[in-house]
Structure 1
Amino acid sequence: MLKVLIACAWLAVSAHGAMAQAASVVFLNPGTSTETFWVSYAQFMQAAAKDLGLDLRVRYSEREAFNTLAQAREALQGSERPDYLVLVNEQYVAPQILRMAQGSGVKLVIVNNALTADQKQLLDARADSGWVASLVADDEQAGYLMLTDLLRQHGPVAPGQSLDLLAFSGAKNTPAARLREQGLYRALAEHPEVRLRQLVYGEWSRQRAFEQATQLFKRYPQAALVWSANDEMALGAMRALHDSGRVPGQAVLFSAVNSSPDILQARLQGRLTTLVAGHFTLGGWAMVLIHDDAKGVAIDAHGGRDRQQALFQLIDTEQAKRLLAPTLPVDFRALSAVGKPASYRYPFSLQLLLR
Structure 2
Amino acid sequence: MLKALCQSLCLSLPLAASAQAASVVFLNPGYSNETFWVDYSRFMQAAASDLGMTLRVQYSERRADLALTQAREVLQGPQRPDYLVLVNELYVAPEIIRLSRGTGVKLFLVNNGLTDSQAHSVQAQPDKYPEVLGSLVSNDEEAGYQMLKALAAQLPAAPGAVDLLVFAGVKTTPASQLRVQGMRRALAEFPQVRLRQVVYGGWSRQRAFEQAQMLLERYPDTRLVWSANDQMAFGAMQAFQALGKVPGRDVLFSAVNSSPEALRARIDGRLSVLMGGHFTLGGWAMVMLHDDARGLAVGRDGQREHSAPALQLIDSAKARRWLELLEQDGHGIDFHRFSAEGRPADFRYPFLTSPVEY
Which category of TM-score, normalised to the shorter sequence, fits these structures? over 0.9
Which has the higher mean CA deviation after the structures are superposed, 166-175 or 147-156? Answer: 147-156
> 2:309–2:355: 8 Å Cα contact kept in structure 1?
no
- Cα distance per residue 1:88-135 (max 9 Å; x no partner): 000000110011011110000000001111222233232762510100
Structure 1 position 353, deviation (Å): 4.6
TM-score, structure 2 normalization: 0.92
Count of residue correspondences: 346
Mapped pair 1:344 → 2:347: yes
Counterpart-to-counterpart distance in 2, 1:132 and 1:139: 22
Cα distance, 1:78–1:19 mapped onto 2, change above 3 Å: farther
Q: Which residue matches 2:169?
A: 170
**How well do the aligned residues superpose, as a CA RMSD in angstroms?**
2.2
Q: Which residue matches 2:156?
A: 155
Counterpart-to-counterpart distance in 2, 1:84 and 1:157: 54
> 2:312–2:355: 8 Å Cα contact kept in structure 1?
no
Q: Which residue matches 1:107?
A: 106
Amino acid at match of 1:240: A
Structure 1 position 334, deviation (Å): 1.2
Counterpart-to-counterpart distance in 1, 2:202 and 2:302: 33
> 2:310–2:356: 8 Å Cα contact kept in structure 1?
no
2:286 is paired with a residue of what secondary structure?
helix
2:300 is paired with a residue of what secondary structure?
helix
Which has the higher mean CA deviation after the structures are superposed, 117-126 or 199-208? Answer: 117-126
Which has the higher mean CA deviation after the structures are superposed, 18-27 or 42-51? Answer: 18-27
Structure 1 position 323, deviation (Å): 1.2
Select the residue among 335, 338, 346 that pairs with 1:335.
Answer: 338
Q: Structure 1: which 5+ residue stretches go unaligned? A: none
> 2:276–2:314: 8 Å Cα contact kept in structure 1?
yes
Counterpart-to-counterpart distance in 1, 2:286 and 2:113: 17
Structure 1 position 246, deviation (Å): 1.3
Q: Which residue matches 1:265?
A: 264
Within 5 Å, give how 1:77-92 maps onto structure 2. 77-92=76-91
- Cα distance per residue 1:218-277 (max 9 Å; x no partner): 221110000000000001111111111111111100000010111111111111100011
Cα distance, 1:274–1:154 mapped onto 2, change above 3 Å: same
Amino acid at match of 1:304: Q
Which has the higher mean CA deviation after the structures are superposed, 237-246 or 78-87? Answer: 237-246
Mapped pair 1:277 → 2:276: yes
Shift >3 Å, 4+ stretches = 17-20, 349-353
Q: Which residue matches 2:70?
A: 71
- Cα distance per residue 1:25-44 (max 9 Å; x no partner): 00000000000000000000
> 2:223–2:251: 8 Å Cα contact kept in structure 1?
yes
Q: Which residue matches 1:146?
A: 147
Q: Which residue matches 2:126?
A: 126
Within 5 Å, give how 1:283-298 maps onto structure 2. 283-298=282-297
Within 5 Å, give how 1:1-355 maps onto structure 2. 18=17, 21-124=20-123, 125-126=125-126, 129-158=130-159, 161-302=160-301, 304-325=303-324, 326-327=327-328, 328-348=331-351, 351-354=355-358
TM-score, structure 1 normalization: 0.92
> 1:330–1:352: 8 Å Cα contact kept in structure 2?
no
Counterpart-to-counterpart distance in 1, 2:249 and 2:302: 44
Counterpart-to-counterpart distance in 2, 1:232 and 1:141: 20
